[in-house]
Amino acid sequence: MTQTTIPYRGMKGVSRLFSTYTTEYARLADYYAGDWREKSSYEAVAQNLTTSPVDRQILVDVLEEQNFNWNNGTLASQLRDPDSLAVVTGQQVGIFGGPLYTLYKALSAVRLADRLTSVLSRPVIPVFWIEGGDHDLDEVRQISLVGRKIWYEGHRLPETGNLGSVGSLVFNAEIDRVRGELMDQLPMTEFRDEVLGSYYSAYHQGNTFTDAFAQTLKSLLGSDSMVFMNPEDCRLKELIAPLLRRELKEYATTHTALKATSDALEEDYHAQVHVRPGNVFLLNESQREALHPTGNGYSPQFSEEKIIPIDQIHEIPPCSLSPNVVMRPLVQDSLLPTVAYVAGPGEIAYFAQLKSLYTWAKRPMPIIFPRASLTIIEPRIAELMDRHDLAAEELGSEIPEIMRKRVLEGSELAQAFKKAGVMLDESADGLRPAVTEVDVTLQPSVEATLAQWKKALSKLQQRAERAEKRRHEQLRTQIEHCKEALYPNGNFQERELPALYFLTKYGDSFLDQVRSRLNIDYCGEHQLMTLV
């Protein structure tokens, strides 16, 4: 295969805002801190961070401890250097490492940090923000394979509320059943047992979602490739409690600013985040509740009869405060010296709403760098695509559409019936006046006869097309096979399949190829990577 990228514009499932951001940044410049392609953008943010430092002492103490516990080397210590900066990315704690794009985000951050270290002549450290504070268990408890999903059922949601921060949930015996089902569903290869036993050994009874996720990513990337960060540590929450308490007291200001930006964005694009007053959750041992502003206080989502007065906000323990999707980036960039954030399409969309909030928080907004987006093409699939001249973007269409285009529209059969239809129309044009000149009362009979001829021709065409389709059933099967490989379960491959799927089939060769060939120079397009 010679095709290596697909432009985002026109790809199904890609928002107009995202495709514009990657190709025509100037049209969205008012919503972001700088053009992600320009060196000067990073230099400007780096300078702003110099005059807006973060508290590194407690931050690095916590990061060193966390990464030591995950056996992840000493890279975190480099953040003690007051000149050091961070390239940050993050993701929820998807079971067994989550979908492929999690790996691609991490590798993109590592590549970008290396590049900026050279460009800025300062240490730039890649940091992975492990989002374990979310309460959406369904987002993290499933593994998708081709044609099948496997769910971890070890924790049941209560009738009302939720289970709190999913990252702190501890795996029980159900994780052994999930591992067993994976063994049954994954291809039986020479690599399967070794891959599950090494890269994914952290998924066992007694481990938490957060710890298993961090240990798995460390295994996939290699020790000391990047710093992993669990922001749920109460020592870190002490540092950002003033910001969240300020948000609780000034929610009207932030809500007005956020709504104004979102309304302006909606005129031409879309607002990713639904704007509502209040951007802080209350966290306790059993659940995570949104705090809804009510007059001079707040009402917890699942305890609406309870009111927390504004003048008692300072009494909420720091460890009980949790940011929502709007405040999370501000919390992140108040803790870390973030020069750039590596984002997926949805994140890029919601960052467009946040620029005014960074001003409110008195923090420099980072440059938003689009993560590498990849589709892996296996050798057998590449061979079939070459044989049938199938383009990757074509396989995003529905099978009947692909088949009609490839089998019928350009076939001799279609051309023959098209020619016959033209000849029939020409014959009708000659027959009609000749008959009616003899006897005008025969006009209805002429029209009825012509209609019968067209109907007969149409029926013959349908029968011939069905016969030709039967002849091409093998082609259809092979097209379906290619489509399922590139768009499993009808979705982008990177959003559906885990790295585990390809590691089982190709072993370390898969990781080696992704690590060496993922190219952040092409993050403005979707990349195609044919395995060798």
Asked if 144 and 493 touch (Cβ cutoff 8 Å), the reply is: no
Q: Does position 408 have pLDDT exceeding 80, yes or no?
A: no
Q: What rounded mean pLDDT belongs to the chain?
A: 93
Q: Angle, to 10 degrees, between the axis of helix 473-486 and the axis of helix 379-387?
A: 130
Q: What is the pLDDT of residues 215-273, one digit of tens each?
A: 999 999 999 999 999 999 999 999 999 999 999 999 999 999 999 999 999 999 988 99
Phi, then psi, of 5 in degrees rounded to 5: -145, 160
**SS3 of 513, please?**
helix
CA dist 332 → 37, 214, 217, 232 (Å): 23, 18, 20, 11
Q: Nearest to residue 5, comparing CAs of 373, 472, 417, 441? A: 373
Q: Residue range 353-378: average pLDDT?
A: 98
Res 410 pLDDT > 70: no
Please give the pLDDT value at position 348: 98
Region 155-168: what's the mean pLDDT?
86
Cβ proximity of 327 and 231 under 8 Å: no
d(CA 122, CA 47): 11
From residue 169, give the alpha-carbon distance in Å to each of 66, 154, 318. Answer: 17, 10, 20
Q: Where are the alpha helices (DSSP H) in 487-523?
A: 493-496, 499-506, 508-517
Strand stretches in 97-164, DSSP E: 124-131, 142-145, 148-151
- Give yes or no for residue 2 having a pLDDT over 70: no
Per-residue pLDDT reduced to its tens digit, 132-149: 998 899 999 999 998 899
**CB 491 within 8 Å of CB 396:** no
> Among 13-17, 86-90, 94-98, 305-309, which stretch is predicted with the lowest mean pLDDT?
305-309
Instruction: Note the pLDDT tens digit of each residue in 170-229.
Output: 999 999 999 999 999 999 999 999 999 999 999 999 999 999 999 999 999 999 999 999
Contact call for residues 238 and 57 (beta carbons, < 8 A): no
> Domain extents for the chain?
5-237+323-371+498-530, 380-496
pLDDT in tens, 272-288: 998 988 999 999 877 89
Output the CA torsion sign for 230, 232, 234, 235. Answer: positive
CA angle 22, 129, 292 (to 5 degrees): 90
Q: Token pair of 271, please?
A: 């607002």
- 94 or 414, greater pLDDT: 94
What's residue 411's pLDDT?
Answer: 67
Among the listed ranges 16-25, 243-252, 466-475, which one has the minimum average pLDDT value?
466-475
Q: What is the pLDDT of residues 502-521, one digit of tens each?
A: 999 999 999 999 999 999 99
Q: Looking up tokens 């990047």, which residue turns up?
A: 226
* Residue whose entry in the numeric block shows the structure tokens 């079971």: 95
| Single-letter residue type at 465 | E
Residue 1: pLDDT above 70?
Answer: no
H-type alpha helices, 146-190: 174-185
Rounded-to-integer distance, Cα 510 and Cα 376, Å: 10
Residue 40 has a pLDDT of: 98
Q: Does the pLDDT of residue 354 top 90, yes or no?
A: yes
Under the banding of pLDDT at 50, 70 and 90, the label for residue 407 is: low
Q: How many residues does the chain have?
A: 532
Amino acid at 10: G
Q: Per-residue pLDDT for 161 more than 80?
A: no
